[in-house]
A and B are shown apart, each in its own frame.
Chain A
Amino acid sequence: MSAAETGLGPTPLQDVRAEMLKGAQSLAVAAPPSQERGITSDLSVDEALLLHAAGWEPLDLVTGVAVVSVPVGVWNWGRGSISMASDAHDAAVDQASRLLRGECSKVHGHGVVGVRVEVTVNPHHIDVELVGTAVRPMGGKDSTGRGTDAALAMPFVSDLSARDFTLLQRAGWVPVGLAFGASFVYAPRRTAGTAIKQKSQNVELTNYTEAMYSARESAMEKMQRSALEAGGQGVVEVKVTEGPMRFARHAIGFTAWGTAVSLVAETHQFVEPQVVLPLDDAVVTFDAESLRSSSQGKRRKR
């Protein structure tokens, strides 16, 4: 759990018992089936409460799925970037986002939060699945400054959790869209002669570096461009992944993802956090292990 938390206050026990009893009693009286559509939401209880406190409500679970084919031979050994694969990846994400926004609009949502993104690269096709919860300001009135019509026409899509969405809102920022970029590149080869010459030396492999550096920057650049296209002023929570394809290990894929955000308040609203000192650990122990980390980069605490 991150260090900046939003803690709910302590609960008076008496109240909660009474509430439970009240709830159970309400069921004993069989209610007539409602004519309401019935919302489905994958938000956790905490998220639902925070969203509500921020004046937004969940509407429905929405999804977008796209499968884009990649012609055979794309992964065969070559040089430079594999533009066909990048194009396929971008097309799949675009289409899936479009479908997701379409479902959101159908239920009159202003945007989708907590989007789970799953990209699977197969030898002949790239599949992208997006799942999230469509939300809107309570009562349907737009509070982001874009105007209700604009919001309905172009709902935002964001992989921020409902909790992060609420925090950002409070500070005067709103998500405007998913920013993403991908690039695929062939691993460069060394000639045999060079390989032998370099065996005993500490040396930088400049053309390798160049190729990987380029590909990574290319993915980042595409991400930036998509953020600008969505009308964002910045991108938060950028995640960069890289790795060889499991079915073609000489081909490396880079992706960069984040949420494009925009300031809608006059200025950034400072949060003025309260500093707390938890007294959970009664005895402070010196743990030698804490000075050491495992060799495979530990995820630092957020």
Chain B
Amino acid sequence: MAIGDEPAAGSPPPDAVTTTAGGPGGDLPEAAVRRLEADSFSSGLSVPDFAACLDLGLQPVALVQGFCVMQWGWYGPNSGTMGGMSPYIGGQQTPGAYSETYRCPHGFVSNEHRSWGQNLEQPWVEDAWAHGYHTAYGRMLEEAGTLGAHGVIGVLDRVSSVADSGTTEFHFLGTAVTVDGGPPPAGGVPWSTYLAGQRLTKSIEAGFMPIAVVAALASVRVWAYCMTEYYMEGSMGGWGNNMGPALVEQVSKAHMASRQLARKHVRAQLAGDELHGAMIDVVTRELSAGDEVIDCTLRGNRVRRFKDWDPIVLPRPTVRLS
């Protein structure tokens, strides 16, 4: 990923974008259209990356970007004003989504005792995230497409949440390029990759053609039951003679599930191709003892092998006198 590459100065931010767009196709802001009609190119590539890009026979065309703002809270699918209610109400399980139930072993204790708990995948959050991400991504590709570009390299994606207001911004930046003597992309959608420069060169040499940037979010909500709550606040003393450390099964399982689900969602977008350079980011929001939301994002380059490659001969190690 071409982290650290500064976008060329003078690229104006897009005008305010509404949250629900009609999908890619003709909803680029006015300013973007004007900028892209200009003649000279701008690119986000550093000098070495630029040189490597030319070596590959790629011509930079323009710096392109896409942007989208989404809003959602922690509401269930029947969202309204009743945010954050426990799973007792409304039967919020979505068919096909991950969920796991935990029952208290103690029998009736009191009304405050949390005798029932659940790990719940939140597909409404995941879908909203996917919508925002792919809308912004699509707009960037659309900008590239209108210029006749074949691909976008050095993609930078930034997802930032403003927790209080419940909004999330998705911002994409990349350098649109054409391949010397190459065909226009299939379906009119340019291919794209996080890579640029020498790393892209090596990947091509190894026989992998970039197709797209792929990402998915898995969001798992933990509704703690009594055992989890006591473990997480360290107060096991009152509930048995087990004073030692104990595995908090519910939370551990939720963490494992979030990562497995992220991989599953990404794999669904790969259609058999490979994912290289995967990056995992996990954000855990603790709402109270034991209650938490685990958001796991997996991103990477979708690539396809276009030729068989013989393994390189393992080079002889060197010691440098410096």
Do A and B touch, yes or no (CB under 8 Å, in the complex)?
yes
Mark A residues whose CB is within 8 Å of B: 3-9, 11, 13, 15-17, 19-31, 33-46, 48-50, 52-55, 60-61, 63-74, 84, 87-88, 91-92, 95, 99, 123-126, 129, 131, 166-167, 170, 271-278
List chain B residues, Cβ under 8 A from A5: 317-318, 320
Say if the beta carbon of B276 comes within 8 Å of chain A. yes
A17 x B237 contact (CB < 8 A): no
List chain B residues, Cβ under 8 A from A9: 315
B248 x A20 contact (CB < 8 A): no
List chain B residues, Cβ under 8 A from A91: 245, 247
A72 x B312 contact (CB < 8 A): no
Given known A-B contacts A17-B55, A45-B202, A49-B206, A24 and B318 have beta carbons under 8 A apart: no
Residue of A nearest to B187 (CB): A30
A34 x B273 contact (CB < 8 A): yes
B183 x A28 contact (CB < 8 A): yes
Given known A-B contacts A3-B322, A5-B318, A28-B185, A34 and B271 have beta carbons under 8 A apart: yes
- In the bound complex, CA of A42 to CA of B319 (Å): 28
A21 x B318 contact (CB < 8 A): no
Mark B residues whose CB is within 8 Å of A: 55-58, 150-151, 179-187, 191, 195, 199, 201-209, 211, 231-237, 243-248, 251-252, 255-256, 259-260, 263, 266-267, 270-280, 282, 298, 300, 304, 306-307, 311-322
Cβ of B157 to closest chain A Cβ, rounded Å: 17
Residue of B nearest to A54 (CB): B314
A72 x B320 contact (CB < 8 A): no
- In the bound complex, CA of A54 to CA of B312 (Å): 9
Q: How many inter-chain residue pairs (CB < 8 Å) link A and B?
A: 243
Cβ of A125 to closest chain B Cβ, rounded Å: 6
Residue of B nearest to A1 (CB): B320
List chain B residues, Cβ under 8 A from A22: 306-307
Residue of A nearest to B267 (CB): A38
B245 x A88 contact (CB < 8 A): yes
Cβ of B217 to closest chain A Cβ, rounded Å: 15
A67 x B182 contact (CB < 8 A): no
Given known A-B contacts A30-B186, A95-B247, A71 and B277 have beta carbons under 8 A apart: no
A24 x B271 contact (CB < 8 A): no
A6 x B232 contact (CB < 8 A): no
- In the bound complex, CA of A222 to CA of B57 (Å): 55
- In the bound complex, CA of A42 to CA of B312 (Å): 20
B202 x A46 contact (CB < 8 A): yes
List chain B residues, Cβ under 8 A from A53: 311-314
A21 x B180 contact (CB < 8 A): yes
Contact of B252 among A55, A67, A274 (CB under 8 A): A67
6 A–B pairs (Cβ distance < 8 Å), ordered by A: A22-B306, A30-B187, A39-B275, A41-B275, A60-B263, A63-B280
Residue of B nearest to A31 (CB): B304
A48 x B206 contact (CB < 8 A): yes
- Supply 7 further A-B pairs (C-beta < 8 A) apart from A40-B274, A72-B234: A4-B319, A8-B312, A24-B183, A27-B185, A41-B274, A48-B206, A166-B314
Contact of A24 among B182, B199, B274 (CB under 8 A): B182
Given known A-B contacts A40-B266, A50-B314, A70-B234, A20 and B183 have beta carbons under 8 A apart: no
Cβ of A14 to closest chain B Cβ, rounded Å: 10
A65 x B314 contact (CB < 8 A): no
A21 x B57 contact (CB < 8 A): yes
List chain B residues, Cβ under 8 A from A52: 206, 311-312
List chain A residues, Cβ under 8 A from B205: 11, 15-16, 19
Given known A-B contacts A41-B275, A84-B245, A170 and B315 have beta carbons under 8 A apart: no
Contact of A42 among B279, B311, B314, B316 (CB under 8 A): B279
- In the bound complex, CA of A51 to CA of B265 (Å): 27
Given known A-B contacts A19-B204, A69-B246, A71-B244, A95 and B300 have beta carbons under 8 A apart: no
List chain B residues, Cβ under 8 A from A48: 206, 276
Contact of A8 among B278, B307, B315 (CB under 8 A): B315
B201 x A40 contact (CB < 8 A): no
A71 x B183 contact (CB < 8 A): no
- In the bound complex, CA of A22 to CA of B277 (Å): 22
A69 x B231 contact (CB < 8 A): yes
B312 x A69 contact (CB < 8 A): no
B248 x A67 contact (CB < 8 A): yes
